[in-house]
């Protein structure tokens, strides 16, 4: 292949790669927007049912300004609470009512992609006790593009950071760690 032909091939390949990256970002963001509801945190609080006896509530959120890749391409990832696996997406929040008491939360590579999508405890682990008829707030903090950690934060910090986030409506799942 001549020098001109090689330059044209590299240029075509560069354009194709740029297009693939751009489209994958749009696809992720569109998928994520279909799994969220633009309901403010305050509107969610106004409609929440009372917490049942024997249970506590966990608000889990991924704030704006986290990992650039996670927020740009609309990453959808997983978090485990004990052996139950839940889905989450960047820049959103959700809540779960769970049995009160100690729980093992994990994040980062809970579902390992592959032919069988291996389900496992994530790399980042946090043991947290959920108080009965009370609420805890967990922030998903990006350590880098694909590694997260969970941080327990105060209600005031969580409410400030969640106030403009959409409600993640696709957190329920039937997946379990075996």
Per-residue pLDDT reduced to its tens digit, 19-76: 444 444 443 444 445 555 678 888 999 999 999 999 999 999 988 765 544 444 345 6
Residue-level pLDDT at 27: 39
Q: Are both 140 and 126 inside the same structural domain?
A: yes
Q: 174 in a domain, yes or no? A: no
Q: 11 in a domain, yes or no? A: yes
Residue-level pLDDT at 5: 59
**Residue-wise pLDDT tens digits, 10-19:** 555 555 444 4
Q: What is the DSSP string of the chain?
A: --HHHHHHHHHHHHHHHHHHHHHHHHHHHHHHHHTEE---HHHHHHHPPPPPTTEEEEEEEE-TTS-HHHHHTT-EEEEEETTEEEEEESSEEEEEEEESEEEEEEESSSEE-SSS-EE---SEEEEEEEPTT-EEEEEEEEEETTEEEEEEE-HHHHHHHHTTPPEE-------B--
Q: 112 in a domain, yes or no? A: yes
Residue-level pLDDT at 60: 92
Q: What is the pTM of this model?
A: 0.73
Q: How many domains does the chain have?
A: 2
Averaged over 120-133, what is the pLDDT?
90
Q: 178 in a domain, yes or no? A: no
**Residue-wise pLDDT tens digits, 72-118:** 434 567 888 899 888 887 788 889 999 999 999 988 777 776 667 77
Residue-level pLDDT at 35: 55
Q: Are both 25 and 57 inside the same structural domain?
A: no
Q: 177 in a domain, yes or no? A: no
Domain encompassing residue 93:
37-168
Residue-level pLDDT at 6: 53
Q: What is the CATH number of the domain that holds 147?
A: 2.60.40
Averaged over 135-140, what is the pLDDT?
94
Q: Are both 50 and 26 inside the same structural domain?
A: no
Q: 57 in a domain, yes or no? A: yes
């Amino acid at each position: 292949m001549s020098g001109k032909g090689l330059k044209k091939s590299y240029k075509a390949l560069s354009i194709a790669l740029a297009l693939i990256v751009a489209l994958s970002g749009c696809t992720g963001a569109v998928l994520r927007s279909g799994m969220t509801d633009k309901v403010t945190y305050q509107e969610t609080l106004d409609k929440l049912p009372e917490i049942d006896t024997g249970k506590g509530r966990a608000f889990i959120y991924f704030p704006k300004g986290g990992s650039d890749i996670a927020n740009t391409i609309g990453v959808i990832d997983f978090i485990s609470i004990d052996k139950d696996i839940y889905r989450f997406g960047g820049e959103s929040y959700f809540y779960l009512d769970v049995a009160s008491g100690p729980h093992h939360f994990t994040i980062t590579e809970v579902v390992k992609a592959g032919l069988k999508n291996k389900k496992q405890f994530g790399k980042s682990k946090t043991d947290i006790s959920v108080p009965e008829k009370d609420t805890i707030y967990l922030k998903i903090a990006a350590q880098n593009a694909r590694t997260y950690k969970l941080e327990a934060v105060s209600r005031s910090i969580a409410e400030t950071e969640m106030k403009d986030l959409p409600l993640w409506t696709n957190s329920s799942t039937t997946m379990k760690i075996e």
